Chain A
Amino acid sequence: MSEFENFQSRAFVLPQEDIDTDQIIPARFLTTTSRAGLGAFAFHDWRFDRQGQPTAHPLVSLDTSSFQILVGGRNFGCGSSREHAPWALLDFGFKAVISSEIADIFRSNAARNGLLPIVAPAEAHAWLLHNPGAAVTIDLAGQSVQVEGGPSFSFDIEPFARHCLLEGTDPLGFLLARRAAIQAHEARMT
């Protein structure tokens, strides 16, 4: 994973609460053995009608070169453990997700893939929901979000996830380095 850099972009708003992983990527697109190219299926059933024609949803014409931040309603990413959800959002072009509440598994899956999950205070979240297109600057090292013309705020992130994102550190390497401790645990088990 490459290192996460500070960036500024516009916030794209999906105001619905409880946006679940079946909305982010419908299950019928999970029959894949790769993690590439899933952006084509991101929010598929919101972007396309049953005949496969593009709908009027603002996601359809979204220019993700200027909208790299997704602001979702409360409890974003609930539902399944599919890592395909952050893969799809990243491939679609998002680099961060902001909500007042982000579901557990989605949150850790996202961070692990370089999609920054940001839990915003309720007031700042409400402001962002009501001001689509706001220019937002994300500073991961400083754990802060600056919003042009709106409330700036700091956010919490699990320190190890932050470290891995900032340094591009690989958690599997970290675990593999614990081989001796794992072996000792196994020896104690029986």
Chain B
Amino acid sequence: MSPDAPPRSLFDKIWDAHLVETEAPQTPGVVYIDLHLVHEVTSPQAFAELEARDLAVRRPDRTLATIDHATPTLAFDPADGPAYASDAARKQVETLGENCRRHGITLHGWDSPHRGVVHVIGPELGATQPGMTIVCGDSHTATHGAFGALAFGIGTTEVGHVLATQCLLQRKPRSMRVTVDGEAPDGVSAKDIILAIIAEIGVDGGTGCVIEYAGEAIEALDMEGRMTVCNMSIEAGARAGMIAPDEKTFAWLEGRQHAPQGEAWEAAKQSWSQLFSDPGAKFDREVRLNAADLAPMVTWGTAPDTGIAITAPVPQETTASRKKALDYMQLKPGEAVTGARVDQVFIGSCTNSRISDLRDAARIMQGRRVADGVRALIVPGSVAVQKQAEAEGLDQVFRQAGAQWREPGCSMCIAMNGDRGEPGELVVSTSNRNFEGRQGPGVRTILASPATAAAAAIAGAVADPRQLAEVEYV
């Protein structure tokens, strides 16, 4: 930074470096995209558009595809093939395969050891790197911001734009910084922190913004915790969430398949070290929280900003929408959420399906039994997470507890692969959305951390994981 250059935020730096053309009053900027992640659900119509216009994919080498949303999570005999929920789901997965073959795009399909939820495999492969612009036809693309990348979700038309030109037409979003000071108490995870942030700023509190998360409590998180935080930025309406890269970021990436190697690695680290918000950088909005005040969180409503401390009563609500949400959830103001009888528990999704999440859940389930009448589904985020968990014996912990250990995928996060709840059921879920019907028509969803979800499975009711005495937090 030259002495008189104005201070820039992390977001400003990445934005500036990717402008092919600056925006003008009548036209948006042209922004270059370093990495385009693709999955089966939001891409077929984009490839069809390319086909119709006889266009090629500009940079297949900057495009990476996987299958996750519509894929079944029950193990299958290769001779029979996967048991899709519908012919449409099969066709969607097969269509992605054909499109990738035709355009020379690497697809982590059924036979790949790197198949998994798109936001789990990008970082896992080291394809997600600091300073990059990353997009995907998926609103939880912000996950990759944990590495100091500018990552955001796009619609299918834009998927087509990136396939054809590697660029997007964008106006620069506004910026917001959420600083979480202090130290999170034992038993408070990254998921609890982000649920608390969203409860503080609201489902639309980040609309039009890119959020940078900063502060002691954020720095203290490991990379997987940071991914959990950035993942849910969209639940506050934000385009993206990001965290400045540091030694933890570099250590996590070193040696991964797509990460730079040798001299290139040293050079990359050097340039990544410049990726932070300069002192005095301007943000359109600043929010501060103290992690020391936080407790494990659960949501009581049908929007992700309805998180409360698990020890708190359900709040009194006044707006019609919120009253309707209480009605739908069959919860009463003034009463505790703890003790509500649970039908299913889902541990998985791009928010909480990484190895540390599974370890958190296993620590609670170790030597215990899932309560009678509760179905607990544990769905690792990728084949690599699955293998790692099995190497650590976590699958055995889950199985012995009576939980189901599944194949990787989005599963009950979005309930389009056949895994879902039944009408009226209460599901404690580590995913990111508690919208009406998200996990199946009429299903009531409570969002929580892996530890809280595991505790609910054991107790058969919403329960404070800190009260399971033998649990030691490390």
- Binding between chains A and B: yes
Interface residues of A (CB under 8 A from B): 15-18, 20, 22-23, 26-28, 30-35, 45, 50, 73-75, 78-84, 101, 103-105, 108-109, 112-113, 158-160, 163, 171-172, 174-176, 178-179, 181-182, 184-186, 189
Cβ contact of A172, chosen from B156, B161, B207, cutoff 8 A: B161
Complex interface: chain B residues within 8 A of A185 (CB) = 20, 32
| Smallest CB gap from B413: residue in A | A27
Complex interface: chain A residues within 8 A of B319 (CB) = 17
Check if B157 is an interface residue, CB within 8 A of chain A: yes
Given contact pairs A160-B28, A171-B161, A175-B169, A75 touches B437 in the complex (Cβ within 8 A): no
* 27 examples of A-B residue contacts, CB within 8 angstroms: A16-B320, A16-B324, A22-B435, A26-B437, A32-B92, A34-B44, A34-B45, A35-B156, A45-B441, A75-B204, A79-B435, A101-B204, A103-B237, A104-B237, A105-B154, A105-B239, A108-B158, A109-B155, A158-B28, A172-B49, A172-B157, A172-B161, A172-B165, A175-B30, A175-B169, A176-B164, A182-B30
10 extra interchain contacts, Cβ-Cβ under 8 A, other than A33-B45, A73-B321? A30-B69, A33-B92, A78-B237, A103-B237, A159-B26, A163-B26, A178-B20, A182-B166, A185-B32, A189-B32
Digitize B160-204: 1 where CB-to-A-CB distance is under 8 Å, 0 elsewhere: 110011110101000000000000000000000000000000011
Complex interface: chain B residues within 8 A of A158 (CB) = 28, 171
A185-B19 Cα distance, complex, nearest whole Å: 8
* Chain B proximity of A51: nearest CB distance (Å): 11
Cβ contact of A75, chosen from B89, B169, B237, cutoff 8 A: B237
Complex interface: chain A residues within 8 A of B122 (CB) = none
| Smallest CB gap from A178: residue in B | B30
- CB of B237 within 8 A of CB of A32, answer no
- CB of B86 within 8 A of CB of A31, answer yes
- CB of B164 within 8 A of CB of A30, answer no
Complex interface: chain B residues within 8 A of A83 (CB) = 42, 45, 137, 155-157
Complex interface: chain B residues within 8 A of A189 (CB) = 32
A182-B59 Cα distance, complex, nearest whole Å: 12
- CB of B167 within 8 A of CB of A178, answer yes
Check if B214 is an interface residue, CB within 8 A of chain A: no
Complex interface: chain A residues within 8 A of B164 (CB) = 172, 175-176
- CB of A81 within 8 A of CB of B416, answer no
A74-B28 Cα distance, complex, nearest whole Å: 26
A171-B437 Cα distance, complex, nearest whole Å: 35
Complex interface: chain A residues within 8 A of B208 (CB) = 104
- CB of B416 within 8 A of CB of A27, answer yes
Complex interface: chain A residues within 8 A of B160 (CB) = 172
Complex interface: chain B residues within 8 A of A109 (CB) = 155-157
| Smallest CB gap from A74: residue in B | B204
* Chain B proximity of A103: nearest CB distance (Å): 6
Digitize B79-123: 1 where CB-to-A-CB distance is under 8 Å, 0 elsewhere: 000000110110110010000000000000000000000000000
| Smallest CB gap from B32: residue in A | A185
Complex interface: chain B residues within 8 A of A160 (CB) = 26-28, 169
In the A-B complex, the 4 residue pairs with the closest CB atoms:
A33-B44, A109-B155, A81-B153, A31-B88
Check if B25 is an interface residue, CB within 8 A of chain A: yes
Cβ contact of A181, chosen from B20, B42, B48, B437, cutoff 8 A: B20
Complex interface: chain A residues within 8 A of B360 (CB) = none
A82-B159 Cα distance, complex, nearest whole Å: 11
Given contact pairs A33-B48, A33-B95, A104-B207, A81 touches B138 in the complex (Cβ within 8 A): yes
